[in-house]
């Protein structure tokens, strides 16, 4: 019964929300907080002594955002290294300059990516993106699973933010500009059935393993 309800939710999600790669979500959920800590100015971004990791989502992706939160909590158990953290789930519509955030993780959206990127730049915080294409809209960082795990960084955004990453990170990331982002093939451009198959299989695997 539980599996049926879960499948229903998924399918609902598929019907109304964006498509996400479960494995990629997990990878990003585990790596992005660590990358956030590679910012030498992380101390400046603490809010009440805590790291606020804000997940920006479209209304239809609430559950995806919630799942990401759950993954992070299970991985980090309340602490990013020595810092206490708090995860906020914020709808694109609610996201503003007043929203508390030490870094943001932006899920897919057709309309609000630029807005989120702009606010992040204004706040001077790191903006992680689920999709690589969103980097062309001003988000800073993403991670893709190719032959190996590859980190991408938006070269243009890097210098406008109040971010100072450790040098080695910059040695291993791939810098990307707008044209690169357009040419990048990502699963979102795959035929739908392929995506569904992949997502289902991934979810299935995840469920089985959980």
Partner 1 sequence: MRGNSVKSLSTKIVLSIILVSIFVFLIIFAIFEKSNKEAFYDIEIEKANIIARTIEPLIALNIYLDMKDNINKIALQLIENPNILAVKVLKNNVVINDIKSNKYKNAVNDSFIVKNLIFQPNSKKKIGTLVLVYSNKNYKDLTDKFTKLMAILLFFLAVLFLLLGLYIKELLSPLRKIAYSLKDYSPNKKIDISFVSQNNEIGLISNALNNMQEKISQYSKKQQDINHYLEEQVDKKTLELRKQLYTNTLTKLPNRLSLLNNIKIVGNNGALLIINVDDFREINDFFGHITGDHVLNIFSSRLNEMFEQEDDIMLNHLSGDEFSLLFKKKPSIKEFTKIAKKLVRDVEKMIFFHENNELAIRITIGGVYQIEKALEKADIALKSAKKQQKSFLLYDEDQNIEELFKENMECVKLLKKAIKEDKIVPYFQPIFDNVTNKIVSCESLIRLIDENNNVISPVNFLIVAKKSRLYSNLTKIMIKKSCLYFEHVNCDFSVNLSVEDILDNETVDYIKHQIKKYNVAKKIIFEILESEGIEEYIEISVFIREMKALGCRIAIDDFGSGYSNFEHILQLNIDYLKIDGSLIKNIDTDTNAQIIIGTIVDFASKLKVLTIAEYVHNEAVSNKVKELNIDRSQGFYLAKPMREIKTLLSHQ
| Contact residues for partner 1, defined by CB under 8 A | 30-31, 34-35, 37-40, 81, 147-149, 166-169, 171-172
Distance CA 105, CA 103 (A): 7
Minimum distance from CB of 18 to partner 1 (Å)? 26
Nearer CB in complex with partner 1: 3/147: 147
Return the residue matching tokens 């590859």: 150
The tokens describing 207, both together, are: 């469920």
Q: Where are the beta strands (DSSP E) in 92-155?
A: 103-106, 126-129, 141-145, 149-154
Whichever of 25 and 117 has its CB closer to partner 1, that residue is 25
Least CB distance to partner 1 at residue 144 (A): 12
Least distance to partner 1, CB of residue 105, Å: 16
Q: How far is the CB of 85 from partner 1 (least distance, A)?
A: 16
Query: φ, ψ for residue 49 (rounded to 5)?
Result: 75, 5
Please say which residue, 14 or 37, places its beta carbon nearer to partner 1. 37
The conformation of residue 47, written as its DSSP 8-state character, comes to B
Decide whether 168 or 179 has the Cβ nearer to partner 1.
Answer: 168
**What is the distance between the alpha carbons of residues 150 and 128, in angstroms, rounded to a whole number?**
14
């Amino acid at each position: 019964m539980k599996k049926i309800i879960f499948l229903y939710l998924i399918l609902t999600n598929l019907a109304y929300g964006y498509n996400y790669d479960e494995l990629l979500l997990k990878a990003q959920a585990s790596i992005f907080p660590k990358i956030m800590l590679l910012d030498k100015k992380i101390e400046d971004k603490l809010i009440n002594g805590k790291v606020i990791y804000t997940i920006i989502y479209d209304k239809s992706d609430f559950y995806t955002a919630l799942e990401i939160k759950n993954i992070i909590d299970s991985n980090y158990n309340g602490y990013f290294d020595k810092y206490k953290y708090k995860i906020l789930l914020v709808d694109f519509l609610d996201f503003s300059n007043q929203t508390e955030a030490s870094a943001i993780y932006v899920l897919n959206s057709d309309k609000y990516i630029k807005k989120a990127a702009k606010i992040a730049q204004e706040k001077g915080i790191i903006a992680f993106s689920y999709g690589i294409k969103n980097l062309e809209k001003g988000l800073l960082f993403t991670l893709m699973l190719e032959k190996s795990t590859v980190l991408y960084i938006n070269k243009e955004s890097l210098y406008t933010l109040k971010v100072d990453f450790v040098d080695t990170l910059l040695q291993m990331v791939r810098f990307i500009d707008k044209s690169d982002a357009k040419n990048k093939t990502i699963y979102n451009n795959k035929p739908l059935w392929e995506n569904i198959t992949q997502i289902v299989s991934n979810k299935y695997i995840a469920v089985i393993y959980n």
